[in-house]
Chains A and B, each alone.
Chain A
Amino acid sequence: MTAALGRLRDRHLGAILLLPSAVLFLGLLAFPLGYGIYTSFFELHLLERTGPFVGLRNYVWLLTNGEFWSALWLSVVWAGGTVGLQIALGTAVALLLHQRFAGRTLARGLVLFPYMMPIVAVVLVWMLLYNALYGVVNYLLLKAGLVSQPIAWLSQPGSALWSVILVGVWKYFPFVVVVVLARLQVIPQELYEVARIDGAGAWARFVEITLPQIKDVLLVVALLRTIWMFNNFEVVFLLTGGGPLRGTMTLPILVYEQAFALYEVGKGSAIAVVMFVLLVGVMTLYFRLFSSEQ
């Protein structure tokens, strides 16, 4: 058997090895994707599973619906806010952990922890920290005199979105740390020595040497993280459910609401398809970037 396969031409062997994955991709991704697009042209009820063909009506509904545009905007703020802060914080922490100090290995391990932690655990512990009556966040802010009375961070329209963004940053910034740290380790040390001889300060060395070196990696990480944060359902849904007053209703939550709370599968699919189109746009940008790099 092995000998027979061994004599196969490279091309054929490759096709055989790829076959199982291709079957799974077609069955679990490509076909469902097509089926999802197909559903978006029907007025389909989740439980009855039948409904009339309505053409583009779901898309017209969506584009003329303030709810959709508001969710799109909130998704942009959520993705932009979390990614911007993740990149800034992640880069700063990576620079810090690149320094030599006692306990560095341990610190590098610990910093990864939030990324490994299950989302439900993250959400629950932050709910406790944010609690209005006995939460540590309120206690510390009151003690420091930054607020005059306890705030229900997750249930007030003014603070909910940013409170959720903070949790998103806490959970996902380690990804940026790891990638940037790996890149920092391969910057040639001579560059810094030359700059030091020229009398460049720490900030000048960062702007003139480090930043240009890590720029490409940062760009790719920003794109990847933007896609993932834009698609992220769990963090916001579990912390606020999209509220208060729909103030954190991002697109994935709107899809969930339409399809699984209101049983409007067609409308839910239409929103999901629009998300997919936006995603393909960003991916195209990503490939352009990659090919221009190589």
Chain B
Amino acid sequence: MVARLRTYPLALLVLIAVGFPLYWMLVTSLKPQTEIFVVPPSWVPRTWTSVHYRELFALTDFLQLFVNSLKVCLMSTGISLAVGTLGAYALARCRVRGRELYGRSVLVAYMFPGALLIIPLVLLFSRLGLTDSHQGLALAYITFALPFVMWVLRGFFRSVSVEFEEAAMLDGCSRLGALWHVVLPQALPGILATGIFAFLFAWNEYLFALILISDESLRTLPPGMMRFLSATDVNWGLMMAASVLVTLPMAIVFGLVQRYLVTGIGAGGLKG
């Protein structure tokens, strides 16, 4: 009972520490410009307004940035999931030579610093015409998305029981048939959760996007949003509106599949 009494205030404290910046982002985006600068701060907006959101779409290229980001992230996630799922299955189940070494290389790749890769990537990509291209940026994102997918799904496939597969194969299914009809449906929640994280890492990425894309019409959200930040007079309402909208897709997906996500994380660790 005493322990219970201590739990609530502490939990409340943690939730405030985590939740306040989120709350502040949201309410600042809904306050008129003058109210953002008042001291003491207006904890609850006195006037609510959607002007910053309207400005964001009317005065900036936010929508274009959003679409570009979506395109690049879907490409990199799709390829990483397709290639990574097959590879992870092979690493978990097939007796292929050099499997352990390959698994370890995947783990090393999974920890590769972006700062190390960006220099050779920009030199090579510019020679291949892959700079200023969404395909090029998606390829760059595969450098972290694919090792992540393979590492997590390898652990996931290992934890899925072999018996179902064996039963299916006794029933006349081929190995690939068993993979398609038995293993993949079972692993689907894990694959989905892994894909969401691979998407998230790409969605959040800043350095590759900054360096590999310099054409303004091809820019993606993270570097594109930072352009709105002028040195002298920051329009905080607009910046916070953009922050809310860049966070929103993550929040929605996250709310929908929260249960799967936690198991996905437990299955193999994460990058970040």
Contact = CB atoms under 8 A, between A and B. Distances in A.
Interface of A: 2-3, 5-8, 10-11, 13-15, 17-18, 20-22, 24-25, 28-29, 31-33, 35-36, 39, 49, 93, 96-97, 99, 101, 103, 107-122, 124-126, 128-129, 133-134, 136, 139, 143, 170, 172, 175, 178-179, 182, 202, 224, 227-228, 230-231, 233-234, 238, 251-252, 255-256, 259-260, 265, 268-269, 272-273, 275-276, 279-280, 283, 287
Interface in B156-208: 174-177, 200, 203-204, 206-207
B149 to A, nearest CB: 9
Contacts of B255: 109
Given A107-B14, A179-B269, A128 B24 contact: yes
Please report whether the interface of chain B is mostly helix, strand, loop or mixed according to DSSP.
helix
Contacts of B96: 10-11, 14-15, 18
Interface in B213-261: 221-222, 225-226, 229, 236, 239-240, 242-244, 246-247, 250-251, 254-255, 258, 261
A46 to B, nearest CB: 8
Nearest to A220: B269
Contacts of A5: 174-176
A32 B20 CA distance: 42
B3 A202 contact: yes
Interface in B112-139: 112-121, 123-124, 139
Contact of B123 (A39, A179, A228): A39
Contacts of B75: none
Given A14-B95, A128-B236, 14 more contacts: A11-B97, A21-B150, A28-B140, A96-B14, A113-B19, A113-B22, A119-B206, A125-B240, A125-B243, A134-B36, A134-B41, A224-B111, A272-B116, A272-B119
Nearest to B37: A134
A244 B258 CA distance: 40
A51 to B, nearest CB: 12
15 contacts: A6-B175, A13-B90, A14-B95, A25-B105, A28-B143, A33-B112, A101-B7, A101-B11, A118-B246, A120-B243, A124-B25, A134-B37, A182-B262, A256-B118, A276-B113
A109 B265 CA distance: 13
Interface residues of B, number: 99
Contact of B99 (A14, A103, A238, A269): A14
Given A29-B109, A111-B14, A231 B87 contact: no
B58 interface: no
A124 B115 contact: no
B87 A21 contact: yes
Contact of B266 (A25, A126, A178): A178
B229 A124 contact: yes
A116 B243 contact: no
Given A107-B15, A178-B265, A234-B207, A24 B83 contact: yes
A140 B146 CA distance: 44
Closest 9 CB pairs of A and B: A6-B174, A14-B94, A14-B96, A21-B87, A231-B113, A121-B243, A17-B90, A32-B120, A252-B115
B250 A118 contact: yes
Given A96-B14, A129-B24, A136-B24, A120 B225 contact: yes
B113 to A, nearest CB: 4
Given A101-B8, A118-B222, A259-B119, A10 B94 contact: yes
Nearest to A177: B14
B222 A120 contact: yes
Contact of B90 (A8, A14, A31): A14
B39 to A, nearest CB: 6
Contacts of B108: 280, 283
Please report whether the interface of chain A is mostly helix, strand, loop or mixed according to DSSP.
helix
Contact of A139 (B40, B93, B107): B40
A25 B91 CA distance: 15
B53 interface: no
Contacts of A18: 86-87, 90-91, 96, 102
Given A14-B90, A275-B115, A228 B272 contact: yes
A99 B3 contact: yes
B94 A17 contact: yes
A17 B243 contact: no
Contacts of B225: 120, 124
